[in-house]
Amino acid sequence: MQEQEAITIVDLEDELKNDSDGARSQELKQEIFELWVDVKKHIDSGLPPEEYARYNKLKEAAETAILVLEKVRLGLAVPT
């Protein structure tokens, strides 16, 4: 994965509020999906229980983030 610029929650909220065409939301979903793929590959390679638990939580967080972005896009959740 490529190195990403740090972004704050406030910046992200502003970007999503102004994302009328959904392009930024789609870009974020793609970045998170790529993270999810990398984490899943790592999990599937076989991990000790403690490391598996940490990576599984990261995978679940990525899945949740994608769902939240989709809800925002559909207008079911609005950044405050």
For the chain (80 residues), the mean pLDDT of every run of 10, in chain order, is 62 80 89 96 96 96 91 68
Token reading at 7 = 């972004």
d(C-alpha 7, C-alpha 73), whole Å: 19
Read off the pTM.
Answer: 0.75
pLDDT of residue 1: 43
d(C-alpha 49, C-alpha 47), whole Å: 6
d(C-alpha 19, C-alpha 29), whole Å: 13
- Which sequence spans correspond to the domains of the chain? 48-80
pLDDT of residue 22: 83
Find all residues with CB under 8 Å of 71, minimum gap 6, and list them. 77
